[in-house]
Structure 1
Amino acid sequence: MLSPGLRHKLRHQASQATEQAAITGKASGAVADSLHLQLLALEQDIARLRQCSRISDRVEMKRNTLLPKYRPYVERYLASGLVHRNELFAQLIIWAFDVGEFDTGIAWSEVAIAQHQPTPANIKRDWATFVADTVLEWAETQATNGHAIEPWFSRVFDKVKSDWRLNERITAKWFRAAGLQLLRDHDGQPRPSAVGDTQVLEQADHWLAQAEQYHSKVGVATLRAKIAMRLRVLAS
């Protein structure tokens, strides 16, 4: 057994290492190797984040300081092949989405789902629902502004279609978004009249019909009527 004096010394060293990591933004030594100490450092960093009044400052801190600081530990955890509850891993998934690292966020969330990792305490959804909500909100904003949403939209949509049993409302929103995406013009607006390919129109209507099947009030009836009208015009 460790003597009281040695236990005190180790606690003091751990405290110093944790404080140093919070100050420098770099985890090293015991802090780099111990999940317990990493979580102590994480608590301090979350407290620092909460002191930032601007969202942009919090995003910058996550991107430039916190993700680089903790990523090596998470990567070692993933490479180890071991599976255990890892709150640090869970928190970094959230931060990856917060800073727009969708490749990392989606890949890590798939691992978290496979490992049955719980989401952080402040996230009241499971991983699949969190990712679906987050990516869809981002994609709708991007698409409306005429920006690209691939490959992340299709990557998550494949999961929504095949693997994730989300509730009907969320699933309907995804099928609706998929249909709208096929109909968007150069300005990002869904306009069936701007589409000249009957196969694209039929696929869009297929997605919208499935959206209605999942949730009848998803709001696609008018758009489907416009698609039908456009198909009649093209046929004539």
Structure 2
Amino acid sequence: MTNPCRRHFQRVTAAVAAAAVAPSVSMAGMNAYEQQLQQLNQVRRRLKQVQSEQGKAELKRTLIPAYAPYIEGVLFAGNGAQDDVLTTLMVWCIDAGFFANALDIGAYVLKHNLKMPDRFARTTGCLLAEEVANGALKVQKAGGDFPLYVLEQAQTITDAHDMPDEARAKLHLATGKAMLGMVDEQQLDGELLERAKTQLAKAIDLHGSCGGKKDLERVDRFLKKYAESKPTEPSTGTPTAN
């Protein structure tokens, strides 16, 4: 799959196939689609032999790049035909920790209202918002940094989609934490702090037990410190007549 010519051919054939199928019609029967679906089914059999969830995620991380040309072709030229390969790869990207890639696919899936496989009970918007948030919160809990732009993209593409308040609260919480993690205590950024406060307050409003209250208290302390560090404007009273 490292052969550039081969990757270009797969990208083009996927784009041609996706462009040829009307919205709401299945991609079934198109050669480019059927080939990818057959490969996915083979991989599923391999995954069933792996008991470890981490082991499955690692296997997906190694295999997903092989499907990149197909994904790129469909996203570039697709009209929104039902594509079980694409929806499956979106979920696999989440499982593998490729959240930015999952959201790129997710934006297309949501735009065209593609159906998820029956085994998924959550709506696509809820799945994307909650799983990205869960991934971010896991990284943050371990003391790591999660890309803010990924969280903001997740909010952007799922904002109009209905989901339980608790799921959306997780995404606001993770976003607020990401912003708070960017704060430089020696050079406070008032705008960044206000943005973090908005995210954390929204998370708490949606789900009071989301776990963001201590973070919000910390933001408020920073905002108070920031306000106190601002120079006081000199008084400009009217001169007194002699």
Which residue number corresponds to residue 214 of structure 1?
206
Q: Does the 8 Å CA contact 1:135/1:153 hold for their aligned counterparts?
A: yes
Is residue 116 of structure 1 aligned with residue 113 of structure 2? yes
Q: How many Å apart are 1:129 and its aligned residue?
A: 1.3
Higher deviation after alignment, 54-63 or 93-102: 54-63
**C-alpha contact 2:125 2:161 (8 A) present in aligned 1:** yes
Closer/same/farther in 2, CA of residues 32 and 41 from structure 1, 3 Å limit: farther
Correspondence for 1:83 among 51, 76, 80:
80
Report the TM-score, using the length of structure 2 for normalisation: 0.65
Equivalent residues of 2:130, 2:171 under 8 A apart = no
CA distance in 2, matches of 1:195, 1:183: 13
1:141 match: 138
Alignment TM-score, normalising by the size of structure 1: 0.66
How many Å separate the matches in 2 of 1:217 and 1:134?
Answer: 18
Q: How far has the Cα of 1:46 moved from its partner?
A: 0.8
Corresponding residue for residue 49 of structure 2? 51
Cα distance in 1, alignment partners of residues 185 and 73 from structure 2: 52
Counterpart amino acid of residue 63 in structure 1: R
CA contact (8 A) 1:195 1:201 kept: no
Tell me how far apart the structure 1 counterparts of residues 164 and 224 of structure 2 sit (CA, whole Å). Answer: 35
1:202 CA displacement: 3.4
Hey, what does 2:179 align to over in structure 1? 182
Larger helix fraction of residues: 1
Query: 1:153 maps to which residue?
Result: 151
3-state SS, counterpart of residue 132 of structure 1: helix
1:173-206 deviations in Å (ceiling 9; x for gaps): 22222322333379xxxxx988844444333323
Give, in angstroms, the shift of residue 235 of structure 1.
Answer: 4.2
Taking only aligned residues, the RMSD between alpha carbons, in angstroms, comes to 3.4
Larger RCO of the pair (alpha carbons < 8 Å, separation 6+)? 2
* TM-superposed deviation, 1:223: 4.2
Q: Does 1:166 align with 2:163?
A: yes
- Deviation at 1:91? 1.0
Tell me if structure 2 keeps the 8 A contact 1:208–1:224.
yes
Decide whether the 8 Å contact of 1:183 with 1:195 is kept in 2.
Answer: no
3-state SS of paired residue (1:84): coil
Between the aligned partners of 1:110 and 1:61, the Cα distance in structure 2 is 25
- Percent identity for Structure 1 against Structure 2: 22
The unaligned stretches of length 5 or more in structure 1 are 1-25, 187-191
